């Protein structure tokens, strides 16, 4: 029997912690005394998108994995401004990890929009990140012409307003995976996207519009890995190649998988993150 995302999360703990700037909800797995990995999800997602990475840590005494629900997602407190920057999310990230007394360098991984947060966080506290992993990274539109930025931002906000979270999940979830993705993965993506908070999503869209991943990567001194799937239509291979170029590395191909690569290419992603395999994955 193949493992589903729901199965993988069955032994994972979900918690909420008070920080200096509001609450952060997160999932955690593993029993190592120190946190080893911190995982940041994308714009239409949540901590559940890391099901197979979290599940791999359950019961392990050598690793401890945390995956947050970003500000405005789940029960995490929204950021106070309408148009936050990647740095605003990064500052909330460190506030969260400070509240958990994480004081040794971690492997910091960001998927899609989470890559912008992760790179900014690494710029803010370079000594706190041992390795930066960017999966299907969103580059942001801060360098794009104003008309393109406005088109992207207004297009996403209009979709949300017209369809609502459930309707948007129904319309967009298929684009997150390759055409051959298993039904259990399709359902997991739809379910997670349908639960987004409209206000939190709107803030994230504004951040995407002004994000400049390449600029932050110029300041990163720790090892960087960039990986994505060949069937990704959200952040296509050419876009991810450009991110890899900014980081002065070669993009890692995860094979014929779509944008939600932590789910669809779980074995390969776990390998690149330095996490154990998780049985037979679907």
Alpha helix stretches (DSSP H) within 173-231: 183-194, 198-210, 213-217
Q: Tell which residue, 11, 23, 45, 26, has the closest CA to residue 172.
A: 45
Give the tokens for residue 246: 């900014």
Instruction: Answer whether 11's CB lies under 8 Å from 55's CB.
Output: yes
Least confident of 89-98, 127-136, 171-180: 171-180
Q: Tell which residue, 33, 22, 31, has the closest CA to residue 79.
A: 22
Alpha-carbon distance 278 to 269, whole Å? 11
pLDDT in tens, 105-134: 999 999 999 999 999 999 999 999 999 999
pLDDT at 1: 41
DSSP 188-204: HHHHHHHT--HHHHHHH
pLDDT in tens, 202-223: 999 999 999 999 999 999 999 9
Residue 21 has pLDDT above 60, yes or no: yes
Residue 37 has pLDDT above 50, yes or no: yes
């Amino acid at each position: 029997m193949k493992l589903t995302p729901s199965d993988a999360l069955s032994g994972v703990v979900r918690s909420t912690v008070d920080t200096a700037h509001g609450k952060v909800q997160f999932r955690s797995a593993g029993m190592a005394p120190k946190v080893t990995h911190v995982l940041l999800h994308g714009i239409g997602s949540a901590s559940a998108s890391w099901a197979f990475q979290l599940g791999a840590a359950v019961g392990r005494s050598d690793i401890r994995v945390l995956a947050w629900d970003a500000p405005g997602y789940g029960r995490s407190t929204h950021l106070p401004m309408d148009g936050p920057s990647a740095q605003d999310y990064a500052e909330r990230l460190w506030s969260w990890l400070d509240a958990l007394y994480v004081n040794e360098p971690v492997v910091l991984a960001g998927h899609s929009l989470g890559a912008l947060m992760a790179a900014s966080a690494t710029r803010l506290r370079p000594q706190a990140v041992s390795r930066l992993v960017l999966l299907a990274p969103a580059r942001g539109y801060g360098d794009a012409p104003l008309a393109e930025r406005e088109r992207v931002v207004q297009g996403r906000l209009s979709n949300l307003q017209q369809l609502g979270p459930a309707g948007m999940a129904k319309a967009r979830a298929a684009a997150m995976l390759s055409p051959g993705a298993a039904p259990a993965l399709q359902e997991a993506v739809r379910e997670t996207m349908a639960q987004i908070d409209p206000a939190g999503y709107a803030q994230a869209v504004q951040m995407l519009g002004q994000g400049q991943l390449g600029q932050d990567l110029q300041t990163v001194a720790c090892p960087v890995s960039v990986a994505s799937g060949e069937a990704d239509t959200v952040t296509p291979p050419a876009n991810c190649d450009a991110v890899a170029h900014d980081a002065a590395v070669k993009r890692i191909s995860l094979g014929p998988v779509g944008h939600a690569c932590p789910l669809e290419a779980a074995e390969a992603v776990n390998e690149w993150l330095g996490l154990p395999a998780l049985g037979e994955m679907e």
